[in-house]
Structure 1
Amino acid sequence: MQTLSGLYQQFLNVIKHTEGLAALMLRLYLAPVLMQAGYNKLSHFEDTAAWFGNPDWGLGLPMPEVMTALAAGTELFGGFLLLIGLATRLVALPMMVTMLVAVFAVHLPNGWLAIADPSSWLANEQVLASAEKL
């Protein structure tokens, strides 16, 4: 029994060096996606604000320019901070709010790939059908 306990302790000592690897991999995967989304919002600021604010063919959110600036800033600068691992817990709060708005305002009613680029490798019939809903 003593040997088994010793082997287990040695195993734990070896794997403790890989503790942060999962969080690092997740940050490295998500940060560029978020940064690209923020950059796209900033580069097409007027169009994004119009979509955020229009209740007929958009999201109908209040103060669309402010919402666009907050979402774009959170995704672009927050994604960069996630990428370098700086203030990740602090950045997680506004990022969580931004993602919850995205989920409830866009993705739940229209599908997960509702605003995906039709030329993307993710595009399929579901993407094209959900794009027609918007």
Structure 2
Amino acid sequence: MKTAPTLLNRALEWTRKFDFIAPLSIRLYLLPTLYTGAHAKVTGFSGVVDWFGASAANGGLGLPFPTLMASLAAGTEVAGVICLALGLFTRVISVPLLVLMTVAGLSVHWSHGWAAIADKTTEASLRMDGLMAWLAHDFPGRFNYVTELGDPVILNNGIEFTVTFLLMILVLFFHGAGRYVSADYWLARKFPRVWPA
């Protein structure tokens, strides 16, 4: 007679057939974020260089060698989009992506604290609440227009999202792109001694 733990272990072992879903999901989740960043950096490259090089007092990051840094950031995001979409060199591209997320987190988001979205006690949220109350009272039509698709929120620009992305990339670094739905999987099967899967 099989015991409950044995049955549970067998059931859990059976689910490993679908373990490729987790890394595939992470890759698909990261793609829009990386694409948005890559597209913005490539199409607005000179503005990114200016932002990277400008002093903090002038709204910039004050980074050294801003053209080089912007090129590295844009190149990493473009390569990241391509590699994650194909599941190609996933563990390799994870290293510069981890560096990129760490630099972004420390240089852009760290000073804003943890939360990506401002809580109701911040000054910005209190001002938004005042604006929404004014709209609801004096301009109900405008209030309904603003809120019909959801309540407006204030971004705090904290490090929360950056850390989340960093952890997801860390999983890809250690576990790779996953089976079946990645170029790495098939190339590693064809070239098992040389392919970095």
Same fold (TM over 0.5): yes
Pick one of 76, 92, 107 that aligns with 1:74: 76
Give SS of 1:86's match.
coil
> Contact (CA 8 Å) 2:112, 2:156: kept in 1 or not?
no
**1:7 matched to 2:7:** yes
Tell me how far 1:54 sits from its aligned partner: 0.8
Q: Which residue of 2 aligns with 1:125?
A: 154
Give SS of 1:74's match.
helix
**RMSD (Å) for aligned C-alpha atoms:** 2.4
Tell me how far 1:9 sits from its aligned partner: 4.8
Choose between structure 1 and 2 for higher RCO, CA contacts under 8 A separated by at least 6 residues.
Answer: 2
Tell me how far 1:26 sits from its aligned partner: 1.1
> Contact (CA 8 Å) 2:52, 2:63: kept in 1 or not?
yes
CA distance in 2, matches of 1:88, 1:59: 29
Q: Which residue of 1 aligns with 2:89?
A: 87
CA distance in 2, matches of 1:109, 1:122: 26
Q: What are structure 1's unaligned runs of at least 5 residues?
A: 114-120, 129-134
CA distance in 2, matches of 1:123, 1:48: 27
With the length of structure 2 as denominator, give the TM-score of the two structures.
Answer: 0.54
User: 1:1-134 maps to which residues of 2 (within 5 A)?
Assistant: 2-4=1-3, 6-55=6-55, 56-57=57-58, 58-110=60-112, 112=116, 124-126=153-155
Larger radius of gyration: 2
In structure 2, do the counterparts of structure 1 residues 123 and 110 end up closer, same or farther at CA, with 3 Å as the change threshold?
A: farther
1:6-44 CA-partner distances (Å, limit 9, x unpaired): 524531342011112111111101122112201111100
Q: Percent identity?
A: 35
Give SS of 1:61's match.
coil
CA distance in 2, matches of 1:90, 1:10: 34
CA distance in 1, matches of 2:152, 2:42: 24
Match of 1:85, as an amino acid?
Answer: G
Name whichever of 9-18 and 92-101 sits farther off.
9-18
In terms of fraction of residues, the more helix-rich structure is 1
Tell me how far 1:83 sits from its aligned partner: 1.8
Give SS of 1:35's match.
helix
Q: What are structure 2's unaligned runs of at least 5 residues?
A: 118-149, 158-197
In structure 2, do the counterparts of structure 1 residues 99 and 122 end up closer, same or farther at CA, with 3 Å as the change threshold?
A: farther
Q: Which residue of 2 aligns with 1:131?
A: none
Q: Which residue of 1 aligns with 2:185?
A: none
In structure 2, do the counterparts of structure 1 residues 83 and 123 end up closer, same or farther at CA, with 3 Å as the change threshold?
A: farther
